[in-house]
Amino acid sequence: MVLISISNLTFVYDNSIEPIFRDVSLQIDTSWKLGLIGRNGRGKTTFLKILNGEYQYKGAISPIVECDYFPFNNFKKTEKTSTILDKVCNDYKLWQVKRELSLLEVSEVVLDTPFAKLSNGEQTKVLLAALFLKSDKFLLIDEPTDHLDMNARKVVSRYLKSKEGFILVSHDRTFLDNCIDHVLSINKMNIEIQKGNFSSWQHNKDLQDNFELSKSKKLKKELKRLSASARRTAGWSDKIEAGKTGIGDVDRGFIGHKAAKMMKRSKTVAKRRQKAVEERSKLTKNIEAADSLSMKPLLYYKNDLIEIDDLSIFYDKRQICKDVRFTVNRGDRVALMGKNGTGKSSILKLLLGQRHVYSGQVRIGAGLNISYIPQDTSFLEGTLREFAQKNALDEPLFKAVLDKLGFTESQHEINIKEFSDGQKKKVCLAGSLCQEAHLYIWDEPLNYIDVISRIQIEDLILKHQPTMLFVEHDYSFVKAITTKQVHL
């Protein structure tokens, strides 16, 4: 066990004005299973790369601990998996890698397979196995879940629970709850560490937020009372100065005494009011998701929106799904469930009019307005204004939604191409929320999206009850919003 002390850490990117971190001080025990959470763009990956020695910074980190960062990228995917393992881990025994693959429920056959031919989930698991073969290093694991289906996430979380000595960035609440024992949260105004998992952190955060909101309301009432008192005192002082007290012809000494008393009281009220203003200004600044989101679902004139019967889809004569049957009725929120490669995205794209070889019946309601979020966001470029214009969105509303999802005004003019993966996904989400639609078709809408925004979106859907057909691997999200599940 090594205790890493971070003192007055400050970091700013060359092309930025505002620092990502300013005078951050904390301690990290290298035996912890530490979950790192925070809004997209708050600096989670940056923090890992600072620890990994990739960025220059101001402040002090001691001792300097040897780290390893996931995902690796110093290899060619066309190479055989065993060759990649040899490059990534230069000192391991075959039985060790077989043991790690077994724990991750991956067949050792993958070792003789070109890495590029493995599924995304298998690739992630192989690289995690390689990471934990390096037992002498502190491990930095950056978003391993985004290419894993729900079952694979269970396997990997169970695997990580059996390990120690890592920092894990993930936005999946269930995944985090299953495998971490401490939380490092990058909040709006500070950075803090708590013992426990995500749920215990969320519970404590809610208690703190509610306390601050309650105290802020009390201070608001106090400020209102003090302001009224200040106005009354000021009124009396003015009258005394003008000789219009209404108390008859009194001597000057009494008036002077009265004026001094009023002046003293006025100063006391002013001090109390200033103290209340300062105290209230410190409250609620750290509260996330204070503003609720909104959307514009339309009511379809018929009960049936989508009907699929005996559907089979083929790629190059290979059948990827068969005998699929389900309906989407008005008010349904249907989740397509299944491992990666079982045809979930293909079904969505078929409904959107993309050409696929298929058999069976696909019936789509006439005049159906559909809002779509694609799984892939690599095509995005241009400014937010250009995106809004291209998609016929109300630009001020679109930007307001993004701000509620954690964007800052300074990001409004940046090319979307420069955004993080999570920020790009939020652009698509905000666009969909601004569209009037009978049916929302979302393909893995939460990929790379931070956990705070996920909770906002959950609350939004439960409030507005839109009709939806979607694919998502976040168990907590699916459990919260789904009315019907279709297992492929």
Taking only the tens place, the pLDDT of each residue in 85-110 is 888 887 888 999 999 999 999 999 99
Q: How far apart are CA 150 and CA 8, in angstroms?
A: 39
Most confident range, picked from 113-122, 131-140, 256-265, 458-467:
458-467
Q: Residue 162 is which amino acid? A: S
The size of the chain, in residues, is 488
Lowest mean pLDDT segment, chosen from 66-80, 269-283, 371-385, 414-428: 269-283
Lowest mean pLDDT segment, chosen from 286-295, 339-348, 351-360, 399-408: 286-295
Omega within 30 of 0 (cis) for the link into 114: no
The phi, psi pair for 397, rounded to 5°, reads -65, -45
Q: Given the structure tokens 């910074």, which residue do they identify?
A: 57
Find the mean pLDDT for residues 242-264. Answer: 57
More confidently predicted of 147 and 428: 428
Q: How far apart are CA 366 and CA 370, in angstroms?
A: 11
- The reported pLDDT for the residue numbered 160 is 95
Q: Kindly indicate the confidence band of residue 289, based on its pLDDT and cuts at 50, 70 and 90.
A: low
If phi > 0 it is left, if psi is from -120 to 50 it is alpha, else beta; for residue 196 that is left
Whether 66 and 137 have beta carbons less than 8 Å apart is answered as yes
What's the topology of domain 296-487? Answer: Rossmann fold (3.40.50)
Whether 424 and 416 have beta carbons less than 8 Å apart is answered as yes
Q: Kindly indicate the confidence band of residue 410, based on its pLDDT and cuts at 50, 70 and 90.
A: confident
Residue 303 has pLDDT above 80, yes or no: yes
Domain spans, the chain: 3-197, 204-282, 296-487
Residue 215 has pLDDT above 60, yes or no: yes
If phi > 0 it is left, if psi is from -120 to 50 it is alpha, else beta; for residue 38 that is left
Output the CA angle 469-475-479, nearest 5 degrees: 65
- The reported pLDDT for the residue numbered 240 is 56
For residue 305 the two structure tokens come to 């929106």
Q: Given the structure tokens 């066309």, which residue do they identify?
A: 78
What letter does residue 55 receive in the DSSP assignment?
S
Confirm whether 3-197 and 296-487 share one CATH topology. Answer: yes
Whether 169 and 38 have beta carbons less than 8 Å apart is answered as no
Read off the pTM: 0.83
Q: Kindly indicate the confidence band of residue 420, based on its pLDDT and cuts at 50, 70 and 90.
A: confident
Q: Residue 85 is which amino acid? A: L
Q: How far apart are CA 51 and CA 65, in angstroms?
A: 8
> Which residues are within 8 A (CB) of 233 and not within 5 positions of it... i.e. 6 or more apart?
262, 265, 266, 269
Residue 232 has pLDDT above 90, yes or no: no
- The reported pLDDT for the residue numbered 36 is 97
SS3 136: coil
Residue 266 has pLDDT above 70, yes or no: no
Whether 121 and 98 have beta carbons less than 8 Å apart is answered as no
SS3 429: helix
> Which superfamily is assigned to 3-197 in CATH?
P-loop containing nucleotide triphosphate hydrolases (3.40.50.300)
Whether 297 and 467 have beta carbons less than 8 Å apart is answered as yes
- The reported pLDDT for the residue numbered 168 is 96
Residue 284 has pLDDT above 70, yes or no: no
Lowest mean pLDDT segment, chosen from 90-104, 180-194, 265-279, 344-358: 265-279
More confidently predicted of 264 and 367: 367
Residue 127 has pLDDT above 80, yes or no: yes
- The reported pLDDT for the residue numbered 235 is 62
For residue 176 the two structure tokens come to 């985090």
Could you report the per-residue pLDDT of 160-174, keeping only the tens digit for each? 999 999 999 999 999
Extract the runs of DSSP E, i.e. beta strands, from 110-260: 138-142, 166-169, 182-186, 191-195
